[in-house]
Structure 1
């Protein structure tokens, strides 16, 4: 039924009318308006010549995501990717259970002392360790800790130790709140872009992704997208399918796309 009933027993309902002749009364005018409205399509699309605006365009948006697709044979199949995402989901569920259980126990024990959330150099030494530069000085200006190194170099003035990073144990992860997890993840992505990819870093990236809470914050989703693009760029430089870095790179790319819903960065 119409929203406004246009009926009058003394006025004939118009089916056809001459648009050149004015309406004889208000009701007839409203009837004409309704008849014209019924003839209009529900959706109207303007036919605009967009070429006239090209000279005035100031912003260019590239459709590219920056993700580099894998060469044939360098990426897992789609079913394999879905299986990896399902396994990761199971790991996250187990992690939540262990996190709660261990956290209750940890509250009764001495709390692990970690670097401050914004202490990038402290987290870098904890996660990746420190190495000796070709000139003989420690990277980032940090000296290694005695007893934690793989070896040492000696000269007449001082001993510089090479120390390795600490794996992401559950004891460390339960001590980190969500904001610290996100911050350390951002640190790792920066280090990945700056120094390249390593096995210990792959372990940390995986562990931090296990601890990420969903739904993601927009900035965290953007960080994961940057991670996926970096991993795809490193993968594109690999010469052999037997390279030890290929599997962890593919795993990280898979998790970003298949588990954290960044489907436009998926290997297909």
Structure 2
């Protein structure tokens, strides 16, 4: 049977363990030296140095003058509420997440085994990494798997951010362009996980833009439900698949 070892022992109560006194006793013959030559001299030096340090350390700086600047780091942008007629049901959202998960799983298998990649994988290059350059790219290319798989992590983030800027120009009452919607879905399907902080910010911004566009669609319009469909999908995927639950419907 192993013998229990105590680190600290209270001399007043031999049966209790606490931090009141050390269990290592140093002989009175041991002298304090600047450079210890044995274990007892080292322990004595440590004990003496510890006496010069306060038990509780407090910050003596006044940071209150910086408090007024802190809100810029935590300010949350507004998120437009959906009209009741446009709010998707949980069942519908679960179906979208399940379908999207299947697509992501297929892409993950492709990324893990290059022999399964499409024969003509496009080498994607953006001539000008700007909104103009991305608009030209989205107009000339099709959101095919062979094209999207040619995008690296940085380009995926840049492209998704560009798409958020493009849909911001949507005319009030209209929905996003069909091809732009296909590009958004393709980029979301290839977004790498775990998410980087920049990617999370881009996704949240995309969901907010979609919510804002949705809020400006007239519920009385005969095509309203069709128009909000892609917007609801993107808000759902960002909120529920990518776990930004505060933005979900």
Q: Structure 1 residues 57 and 98 mapped into 2: Cα distance closer, same or farther (>3 Å)?
A: closer
Which stretches of structure 1, 4 residues or longer, exceed 3 Å deviation after superposition?
1-4, 59-65, 98-106, 109-114
Please report how far the alpha carbon of residue 198 of structure 1 lies from its aligned counterpart in structure 2 after TM superposition: 1.3
Query: Which position in structure 2 is the counterpart of 1:7?
Result: 12
Query: Which position in structure 2 is the counterpart of 1:256?
Result: 238
Q: Which whole-Å deviations, capped at 9, do the CAs of 1:105-156 have from their partners, x for residues lacking one? A: 54xx5854542472542321221x3xxxxxxxxxxxxxxxxxxxxxxxxxxx
- Structure 1 length normalisation: TM-score? 0.59
Please report how far the alpha carbon of residue 216 of structure 1 lies from its aligned counterpart in structure 2 after TM superposition: 0.7
Question: Which whole-Å CA distance do the structure 2 matches of 1:266 and 1:256 have between them?
Answer: 8
Question: Which whole-Å CA distance do the structure 1 matches of 2:78 and 2:205 have between them?
Answer: 9
* 2:153 equivalent to 1:181: no
The 3-state SS of whatever aligns with 2:87 is coil
The 3-state SS of whatever aligns with 1:73 is helix
Query: Which position in structure 2 is the counterpart of 1:208?
Result: 187
Match of 1:58 among 40, 56, 68: 68
Question: Which whole-Å CA distance do the structure 2 matches of 1:8 and 1:186 have between them?
Answer: 67
Q: Is the 8 A contact 1:232 1:253 kept in 2?
A: yes
Question: Which whole-Å CA distance do the structure 2 matches of 1:68 and 1:194 have between them?
Answer: 16
Q: Structure 1 residues 102 and 254 mapped into 2: Cα distance closer, same or farther (>3 Å)?
A: farther
Please report how far the alpha carbon of residue 202 of structure 1 lies from its aligned counterpart in structure 2 after TM superposition: 0.9
Q: Structure 1 residues 120 and 103 mapped into 2: Cα distance closer, same or farther (>3 Å)?
A: farther
More deviation, 227-236/187-196: 187-196
Question: Which whole-Å CA distance do the structure 1 matches of 2:161 and 2:247 have between them?
Answer: 19
Q: Structure 1 residues 57 and 167 mapped into 2: Cα distance closer, same or farther (>3 Å)?
A: same
Match of 2:94 among 82, 86, 103: 82
The 3-state SS of whatever aligns with 2:103 is helix
Query: Which position in structure 1 is the counterpart of 2:104?
Result: 92
Higher helix share: 2
Please report how far the alpha carbon of residue 57 of structure 1 lies from its aligned counterpart in structure 2 after TM superposition: 6.7
RCO comparison, higher one (Cα < 8 Å, 6+): 1
Unaligned runs of 5+ in 1: 10-55, 130-164
Please report how far the alpha carbon of residue 178 of structure 1 lies from its aligned counterpart in structure 2 after TM superposition: 1.7
Q: Which whole-Å deviations, capped at 9, do the CAs of 1:50-82 have from their partners, x for residues lacking one? A: xxxxxx973585876511121112021123212
Query: Which position in structure 2 is the counterpart of 1:247?
Result: 229
Q: What is the number of equivalent residue pairs in this alignment?
A: 185
Please report how far the alpha carbon of residue 191 of structure 1 lies from its aligned counterpart in structure 2 after TM superposition: 1.3
Q: Structure 1 residues 60 and 7 mapped into 2: Cα distance closer, same or farther (>3 Å)?
A: closer
Please report how far the alpha carbon of residue 253 of structure 1 lies from its aligned counterpart in structure 2 after TM superposition: 0.2
- Structure 2 length normalisation: TM-score? 0.63
Higher strand share: 1
Question: Which whole-Å CA distance do the structure 1 matches of 2:237 and 2:212 have between them?
Answer: 16
Query: Which position in structure 2 is the counterpart of 1:68?
Result: 80
Q: Structure 1 residues 63 and 118 mapped into 2: Cα distance closer, same or farther (>3 Å)?
A: closer
Q: Is the 8 A contact 2:118 2:146 kept in 1?
A: no
